[in-house]
Amino acid sequence: MSDGAVKLSKFVSYILRHKPESIGLVLDAEGWARIDELLEKGNASGVSFGRDELLELVANSDKKRFSLSEDGLRIRAAQGHSVEVTLGLEAREPPSVLYHGTATRFLDAILVKGLTPQSRQQVHLSVDVATATKVGQRHGKPVVLVVGAQQMFAKGFRFFQADNGVWLTDHVPPQFLRFGETGEA
């Protein structure tokens, strides 16, 4: 991804996940924004981009951070919101295990409280160790935690899968966590 595309991705992520009001954009209850309005308000804020660049970003994003509406007129972040939205995802049965990447400096708190959403709406979980490791590296020395997702599900915890494949849940209590890369929690 070019430097310009990275900059645009960060801008659109920031707006659609965290601060739509910073450019005067209003998201609907499910996090959707009209593309024409995002373009107008984004450009007015000093970030110059067009519809083709935005659609290319959506199509080529390795993390698949954005979703387009079926009619192609609206866009939203697939997950990761700190603003209140309801993505309308159906609860579903997760795989046996999922993974969470974090930094070692957060482990003491995690081992006491479990995984909490922090500034986000839900806890993000990965289907593979490599992705979880990349996430953990963004915050310091990474560690991957194995989440006993199927065990949680059997106890009544709800899981959702975002459009980009990221698994979401409200909280992961510490008893469902272990260190390691594979196997049952």
Q: What is the pLDDT of residue 181?
A: 54
pLDDT average, residue stretch 2-20: 90
Q: What is the DSSP string of the chain?
A: --HHHHHHHHHHHIIIII-GGGGT----TTS-EEHHHHHHHHHHTT----HHHHHHHHHH-TT--EEE-TTSSEEEESS--SS-----PPB-PPPS-EEEEEEGGGHHHHHHH-B--TTSSSEEEBSSHHHHHHHHHTTSSEEEEEE-HHHHHHTT---EE-TTS-EEES-B-GGGEEESSSS--
Q: What is the mean pLDDT of the chain?
A: 90
Reported as a pLDDT band with limits 50, 70 and 90, residue 185 is very low
pTM, full prediction: 0.72
* CATH numbers and ranges of domains, the chain: 3-77 (1.10.10.970), 98-179 (3.20.170.30)
| Tens of pLDDT, residues 28-63 | 988 999 999 999 999 999 999 999 999 999 988 777
